[in-house]
Amino acid sequence: MTETESSTMNRESAQTLVVHDKHDERHFGSVTTPLYQTSLFSFATYAEFDHAMESFTDQPVYSRGNNPTVQQLEQRLAQLQGGEKARCFASGMAAISTAVLSSVRQGDHIVCVNQVYGPARKLLEGFLTKMGIETTFVDGSSKQELQAAVRANTKLFYLESPTSLMMQLQDLKFCADLARSIGALTLIDNTWATPCLQNPFAYGIDLVVHSTSKFIGGHSDGIGGVIIGSAERIGQIDENEYLLLGGIMTPHTASLMMRGLRTLPLRMERFHESGLRVAGHLEGMPHVIKVHHPGLPSHPQHELAKAQMSGYGSLFAFELDLPVETVKRWADQLEYFRIGVSWGGYESLITVPSLPDGYESVTGVLVRMYIGLEDPQLLIGDIERAFKRLG
């Protein structure tokens, strides 16, 4: 991985941060954070209870406000991402819907990239219109389109860079500057790059969300999300959407996510290398029209990717010049790739997604591929063998 000015923590510091817990007498020096499987916390005196009630979301009183197992994960994620404070949620979508609802009110307008994660698009173009909040979807790679979409009532720019299907980037500094100049907020879905490979705060982005169900959890065994931002902004979310909508992460999930986080920087190095290797090989294979991976020189935004990120995730897409039925038969032949949604675990995955609006540039059948922790050479052999078996 290359070091760039994007100011993500270097990998040794990141790996140290996620494995090093201070010795804690209260927990007998336990190496892992104990799982506080409790709904409430009780107090010996009324004075202590009164004191704790003053900061319901920062001290353990009730697990819809604060739970120490979840809090440890939140603190670690905030540090790793370079934000002041983090709040975890029941899913990536709970984090996204909370972050959006905290940023806009009736009559406001949102500018969003048109290749955004599907359910996020549905939230904006379906659900929010019921509340009188309108969204304009634009080609996020075009500064002109981003600028032209601004209205007098634009209050939020919703970004996802790279997008998780076609790996399209936005220029984060340009977006943050544009938003600031009109008094709007910026929010980015940073799930693909993880806190290890992209620091949006360095470019002036206000809120960062992640689905922790992907790389952060890393073991395909839990669903969760996080919002990271300034103490002030997370404090506002705490008092309103977090407590009132109540989509909390459970302590059990937080303990699974914490275990995943312990190896995140290490795993991202492997994902970076394996993803690039398989994507690079695919570029030369028969039937492959185009590979969409920002780490390949053929990607139209490769220079921006190198400047904004310090490495790459291992989810990418490619287009095949075969009928969709043939592509599905090819997928059936693969030995090491399972067919399934999601990504970010140890196992390689493949899907042939159906494309909504915003993907008019796709000319072949689009395949989404996730490279797990297996030997990349075996995966390449598997892909080649499956093509040969098609005849």
Ligand X SMILES: *Cc1c(COP(=O)(O)O)cnc(C)c1O
> Residues 81, 98, 135, 211: which binds ligand X (CB under 6 A)?
211
Tell me the backbone φ, ψ of residue 86, rounded to 5 degrees: -135, 155
**Size, binding site for ligand X by CB under 6 A:** 12
Contact between residue 141 and residue 167 where contact means Cβ atoms under 8 Å apart: no
Least Å distance, CB 385 to ligand X, is 29
Q: Which residue is nearest to ligand X (CB)?
A: 92
| Integer CA distances (angstroms), 210 to 63, 80, 188, 288, 295, in order | 21, 13, 9, 31, 21
The b/e string for 257-273 (b: 16+ C-beta within 10 A; e otherwise) is: bbbbbbebbebbebbbb
Amino acid making up residue 205: I
By CB under 6 A, which span of 69-77, 210-218, 269-277, 317-325 interacts with ligand X?
A: 210-218
Least Å distance, CB 251 to ligand X, is 17
Q: How many CA atoms lie within 13 A of 98 on its CB side?
A: 35
- Closer to ligand X by CB, 52 or 159: give it: 159
- State both tokens at 151: 């209205």
* Residue 91: strand, helix, or coil: coil
**Residues pairing with 226 in the sheet:** 88, 210
- Closer to ligand X by CB, 92 or 229: give it: 92
**Residues pairing with 315 in the sheet:** 370
By CB under 6 A, which span of 40-48, 138-146, 177-185, 211-219 interacts with ligand X?
A: 211-219
Give the strand order in the sheet containing 134-138: 85-89, 225-229, 207-211, 185-189, 154-160, 109-113, 134-138
> Residues 76, 87, 109, 214: which binds ligand X (CB under 6 A)?
214
* Residue 281: strand, helix, or coil: helix
Tell me the backbone φ, ψ of residue 357, rounded to 5 degrees: -60, 150
Axis crossing angle, helix 376-390 with helix 324-333, rounded to the nearest 10: 130
Contact between residue 12 and residue 6 where contact means Cβ atoms under 8 Å apart: no
Binding mask of the shown chain, residues 65 to 94, with x at each position contacting ligand X by CB under 6 A: --------------------------xxx-
Q: What residues between 268 and 327 interact with ligand X by CB under 6 A?
A: none
Least Å distance, CB 14 to ligand X, is 21
> Residues 191, 255, 274, 308: which binds ligand X (CB under 6 A)?
191
Least Å distance, CB 192 to ligand X, is 6
Q: What residues between 4 and 63 interact with ligand X by CB under 6 A?
A: none
Binding mask of the shown chain, residues 159 to 188, with x at each position contacting ligand X by CB under 6 A: -----x------------------------
- Closer to ligand X by CB, 213 or 255: give it: 213
- Under the binding rule (CB under 6 A), the answer on residue 101 touching ligand X is no
Q: Taking CA 343 as the corner, what is the angle to CA 174 and CA 358, rounded to the nearest 5 degrees?
A: 45
Least Å distance, CB 149 to ligand X, is 21
Contact between residue 167 and residue 294 where contact means Cβ atoms under 8 Å apart: yes
> Residues 213, 253, 301, 348: which binds ligand X (CB under 6 A)?
213
> Residues 60, 200, 225, 372: which binds ligand X (CB under 6 A)?
225
- Closer to ligand X by CB, 194 or 211: give it: 211
Point out which residues bind ligand X (CB under 6 A).
91-93, 117, 164, 189, 191, 211, 213-214, 223, 225
